[in-house]
Amino acid sequence: MARAKIALIGAGMIGGTLAHIAAREELGDVVLFDIFEGTAKGKALDLSEAAPVFGKDSKLVGTSSYADIAGADVCIITAGFPRKPGMDRSELIGKNLGVIKQVAEGIKEHAPKAFVICITNPLDAMVWALQKFSGLQPRKVVGMAGVLDSARFRYFLADEFQCSVEDVHASVLGGHGDTMVPLTRYSTVNGVPLPDLIKMKWTTQDRVDAIVERTRKGGGEIVGLLGNGSAFYAPAESAIEMAKSYLRDKKRILPCAVRLSGQIAGVRGLYVGAPAMIGARGVEKVMNIRLKADEREMFMKSVAAVEKIIADCQEMEPSLK
């Protein structure tokens, strides 16, 4: 059987890391696309030269021509610009909306059957715009944020309990931003929910509140430390997890930015983070979690933040109205 074709649109920090993981895991052949052709070609050649060392046969090419992504099974989008210290994700719209429009047109023309995973920020609005500009089916266009946000939450919890990250599961809903909604009652260690762990005196409510806050601001913490650019290892690992579930029809239930049609709090037509089943048909199901009053309030605040960014996008690009 032919190897899968994975197109990485944007060959920067996340794009290069995605190419490295995809090649090491032999997930498929990789096309690295960037407006800077040298960056794409240089990273593809460097990784091709590493392949004999790690002993994998994925083919990697670099390009700045959309024709080379023809027939891609998966497209992962990181094209655009990352945050600088002190910047909010929403401040990236001005630069990234135009980039997403070009990318959507390239995918629509050359890889209309691909499963598309957007990472470019501000995430929920960019994936919404990508779907609108491309006209691809909403179940084939998703955003990566929840896997990363819940991984951060899991890491902080594992560190608190001094236990393996493998035994910690965490659930995060809503938009990718400081209003995201980490769901403590659905976050567990070995199946035991956080509120029970507090009763068992494994931790305290105050410490959990601090971890929730650190999770919400997790992206900014890394931006502040790096001083130039944003997180890339964990975002790349997270998007690969989603791509794998699609390519191998694993039907993982992963928190992703998906276009809701009423499954959570009756929200429709917007992309926001929710637990979704990813299989060979793309988004196959969205879990219709019933929220408690306080969770619903936080979720709707997050939805309002996404709506505000979308309104700004529509202002800038009237074709999105």
Question: Angle 123-134/93-110 helices, nearest 10 degrees?
Answer: 40
Question: Which two structure tokens, joined as six digits, stand for 311?
Answer: 């309104």
> Of 133, 232, 246, 271, which one interacts with ligand A3D (CB under 6 A)?
232
Helix (H, G, I), strand (E, B) or coil at 146: helix
Provide, rounded to whole angstroms, the least separation between the CB of residue 12 and ligand A3D: 2
Q: Contact between 229 and ligand A3D (CB under 6 A)?
A: yes
Interstrand relation of 181-189 and 60-63 (parallel, antiparallel or unpaired): unpaired
Question: Is 110 known to be catalytic?
Answer: no
Interstrand relation of 252-261 and 268-279 (parallel, antiparallel or unpaired): antiparallel
Q: Contact between 104 and ligand A3D (CB under 6 A)?
A: no
Q: Contact between 63 and ligand A3D (CB under 6 A)?
A: no
> Of 11, 23, 170, 300, which one interacts with ligand A3D (CB under 6 A)?
11
Question: Which two structure tokens, joined as six digits, stand for 153?
Answer: 């939450």
CA-to-CA dists, residue 276 to 75, 142, 144, 236, 282, angstroms: 18, 10, 12, 19, 10
> Of 36, 65, 164, 233, which one interacts with ligand A3D (CB under 6 A)?
36
**Cα–Cα nearest to 40, from 18, 17, 10:** 10
Single out the segment in contact with ligand A3D by CB under 6 A; choices: 115-123, 159-167, 178-186, 188-196: 115-123
Q: Contact between 235 and ligand A3D (CB under 6 A)?
A: yes
What sections of 201-292 are H helices per DSSP?
Answer: 205-216, 218-226, 233-247
Q: Contact between 123 and ligand A3D (CB under 6 A)?
A: yes
Q: Say which of 20, 110, 169, 176 is annotated catalytic.
A: 176
Give CA torsion, residues 95, 101, 103, 107, to 10 deg: 170
| 13 versus 254: smaller Cβ distance to ligand A3D | 13
Residues in touch with ligand A3D (CB under 6 A)? 9-15, 34-36, 39, 78-83, 92, 96, 99, 102, 119-121, 123, 144-145, 148, 176, 219, 229-232, 235
Catalytic residues: 176
